[in-house]
Amino acid sequence: MAETGMAGTRIRQRRLVAGLKQAELAEAAGISASYLNLIEHNRRRIGGRTLLQIAEALNVEPATLTEGVQSHLLAALQEAAGEAKTGGDFSVTAPELDRVEEFVGRFPGWAGRLADLGQQRDALERTVKALSERLAHDPQLSATLHEVISTVTSIRSTASILAETRELEPEWQMRFHRNINEDGARLAEGAEALMRYLEAAPEAGAEVTSPQDEMHAFLERHDFHFPQLEGWGAEARIEAIVSEVEHRAARALARVALTQILEDARALPRDQMEAQLAAHGPAPDAIARATGRPLAQVFRRLATLPEELTGPVGLIVVDGAGALILRKTVMGFATPRSGAGCGMWPLYEVLGQPARPVQAVLVQGDLRVRALAVAEETVPAGFDNPPLMRAYMLILPEHRGPDREQGRPVGVTCRICPIEGCLARREGSVLRDAF
């Protein structure tokens, strides 16, 4: 369960999605707008009659405001409902998104199962799309089918000549029979090759995931930490490590990720990082200055060290188009499984200003984290190509002292974000209409 001291943040979120002004909610609750402002910024505790009046004005259960629910589970359920709404998949009644927190609080097991089913549906849709593209663009499949169709057409043409020509010289008749025999052998070989190719696909009962999902599952099983890659001679171990990844495309992605981890481990050996962490803590700018290494490399290295050494450290990586390449999430900070994230993340802010780091306190639901972001040029510009960029966002815990700074409200992705009036919104939220 979330921290009870964050009730003010939940009240503010509920007020925003309900379309109420601070003064309107304060009047309904019988308190002043200035006092409500202090409550919403968690500078005044709330309880008793005031809590009941605010909950009644917002039409929610009081426990929803004081206890909250797991943000990642909420995000998964909201995303599943959003996908169904977009696809017109409401055969009976639309999901009651305004009661999703109550549902999670009362039935956490069912909520988790429903979220899993939503993610499995997304994975299946991506697989169907990938297979459709494969059928359309796979050169081997295209060549095999073309061979089979060409052979069938040739056999049909020859058979038509034999059937329609009443008087045919024996020499030509033998030649056409020979052609049919040869084409029949070619057809059998082509059909056999097609069957071998199709049977090489994953078994129907196997779990269906995209290559990126499979790569992330592999990294998560190891907590993004590979002690085998520390020290010299580690290149030879990469193939043995990635052999546990089932599919070739995912194995290639995992190999790229491990190669990057190996290079970072060589540039910033573990004993050096332990000394820097003892001196500075998980402060990437101080470590970068002390070691002379790029800030982006320090980000990656911190995210691949064991948590007992660094504390909770998350990392999100996108390319210049904003597509997610890597996501190591911690402390419940929710990210989309695919597509673009929230435009208010510092991650996207730095894409237009490489080498200039940015940091901000982010508030996602009940969660407060400190996000540090930087972009680097992976391929320099040339006369024939633009520079290729990659942006990194490190996620660290935010201190809870009384002097903590005001946070920046962020979401997961626009489709399931309840924040009203967001300047970065690129599409409507399914939550806004629901509440």
pLDDT in tens, 43-63: 887 777 888 888 888 887 777
In terms of domains, do 170 and 222 share one?
no
Q: Per-residue confidence at 5, pLDDT binned at 50, 70, 90?
A: low
Q: In sequence order, which ranges of 1-70 are alpha helices (DSSP H)?
A: 7-18, 22-29, 33-40, 48-58, 62-66
What pLDDT is stored for residue 407 in this prediction? 85
Q: Which amino acid is at 197?
A: Y
Q: Which amino acid is at 408?
A: R
Tokens 């979401």 correspond to 411
Dist CA 202 CA 225 (whole Å): 29
Structural domain boundaries, residue 176: 138-199
DSSP letter assigned to residue 341: -
Residues in the chain: 435
Q: Is the Cβ–Cβ distance between 55 and 7 less than 8 Å?
A: no
Q: Which amino acid is at 247?
A: H
Q: Which amino acid is at 92?
A: V
Residue 204 domain-assigned (yes or no): no
Dist CA 141 CA 250 (whole Å): 21
Number of domains observed in the structure of the chain: 6
Report the phi/psi class of residue 330: left, alpha or beta, with left for phi > 0 and alpha for psi in -120 to 50: beta
The pLDDT of residue 241 is above 90: yes
What pLDDT is stored for residue 76 in this prediction? 77
In terms of domains, do 316 and 431 share one?
yes
In terms of domains, do 361 and 421 share one?
yes
In terms of domains, do 76 and 145 share one?
no
Residue 77 domain-assigned (yes or no): yes
Domain of 18: which CATH number? 1.10.260.40
**Cα 242 to the chain's mean position, in Å?**
21
Dist CA 151 CA 194 (whole Å): 14
The pLDDT of residue 402 is above 60: no
| Sheet with 324-328: strands ordered across | 324-328, 314-319, 388-397, 367-379, 358-364, 408-409
The pLDDT of residue 86 is above 60: no
**Gap between the terminal Cα atoms of the chain:** 22
In terms of domains, do 332 and 420 share one?
yes
For the record, the structure tokens of 213 come out as: 């999902």
In terms of domains, do 316 and 418 share one?
yes
pLDDT in tens, 371-380: 999 999 888 8
Q: Greatest CA span in the chain, whole angstroms?
A: 107
Q: Is the Cβ–Cβ distance between 32 and 24 less than 8 Å?
A: no
In terms of domains, do 412 and 370 share one?
yes
In terms of domains, do 352 and 293 share one?
no
For the record, the structure tokens of 26 come out as: 């304060």
For the record, the structure tokens of 212 come out as: 């990126």
